[in-house]
Structure 1
Amino acid sequence: MASGAKELANGAKTYFANTVAPAAMGAAQTVSQRSGQAPGAVHWTIWSRFALPVLAFIGIISLFMPLASASYMGRSRSINYFSEDAPPGEGAVMLIAFLLVIGFSVASLVTGRKWALITAGVLAILVGLVGMLNGFGTAAAINGERYGSVGAGAIFLGLMGLGLIVSAIITFLPQKGLTAQQY
C-alpha cells in the first residue's frame, strides 16, 4: 500500500512538472503579451484614465464647498466660488473646465481614441494647475488671517488639482499594443 501511494505521488509530481506547470506559464505569457505589458507590471495608466473623471467630479463638488469662513463678534460668514463675494465668473469657468475634463476623459474611455486621451490629459494638467493654485493659494492666504479659517473646499480643490496633474502625467506614460484604429 505504501509503494502504491509513492507511485501515485511520483506520477502526480511528474504530471504537474511536465504538463500543468508549462501550461500555466504559457497562459501567463499569453495574457501578458495580449495586455501589452511586461509580466508583473502594474497597470497604472489604465487606472489613471478612470481617475481623471472622478477627480474632476470631486473638483466640481469642491467648488460648492466653503473656501474660507470668517468669524467676528458672534457673526460668521462663509464663501465659495458661487457666493456673492466670490470673484465674478471664476466658479463658472472652473465648472466648465471640470466638465470638459470629464467629457474628454469619458470619451477616451469609451472610444479608446488617442486624440481624446491626449485632449483629456492636457486639459487635466491645465485644470489641475489652476485648481491646485487656487485651492492651496486660498488656503495659504486665509491661514495667516486673524479671524479667518480655511474651508474644506480650498483643501479639496488643491488636492484634486494635484491628483489631476499626477493622473494626467501617468496617463501619458508609454503604452504598448496601440493599434492604428486608436489614432
Structure 2
Amino acid sequence: MKQIMILSLVIVLGFSRLSAQGMPVYDNTNFLALGQQLIESAKQTSQLLQTVKFLQEQKERIEQVSQIIQQLKTVREIISNYEELYDTVRGDLQEILSSPYIDGDEVAVISESFNSLMDTALQDLQFMQDLLTSNYLEMTDAERLEILEAQRKRSREMIQEISLKKKRYLHIIDFRKVRESINGRPAQY
C-alpha cells in the first residue's frame, strides 16, 4: 500500500507540474518590433546603395575632370614650348643672319632650316587644335592625352634641336671672329 501511495503521489505531483505551466503565451510586441527593425534596415540598405551609386558617379566625374585638367596642363606646356621656339627663331635667327660672319649663301640654308622647324611646329599646333575641338576619330580622353603627351615630347625635342642649331651657328660665328682676328693680326718677327 505504501508503494501505491507513493506511486499515486508521484503521478499527482507529475501532473500538477504539467498543469502548473499552463498554455504558452506569445508576445506579439517582440514580433512587431523585429518586423519594424527589418523594415528600417531595408531602408538603410537602400539608402546606402543609393549613396554608393552617387559616390561612384562622382568618382567618374572627378576622373573625367582630372583627365581634362591634365590635358589642359599638357596643352599649356605645348603652347609654351612653341612660344619659346617662336621667340628663339624670331630673336636669334635675326642675330645670326645679321652677323657679318655669315655668307650670303649660308643665309638661305639657315633660314630654311629654321623655317622647316617652324612649319612643323605650326602643323603640330593645327593637329592639336583639331584633336581638341572635334571628336577626332571618336577617341577617349585617355587616348587624346596620350597623343598630347607625344606632342609635348616632340615640342621639347624641337626646342632642343633649335637650341643646338643656334649654338652651332653661334660657334661658327665665334670661330670666324677668332679666325679673322688671328688672320688680321700683324706679324711680329
Normalization by structure 1: what TM-score?
0.40
More strand by share: 1
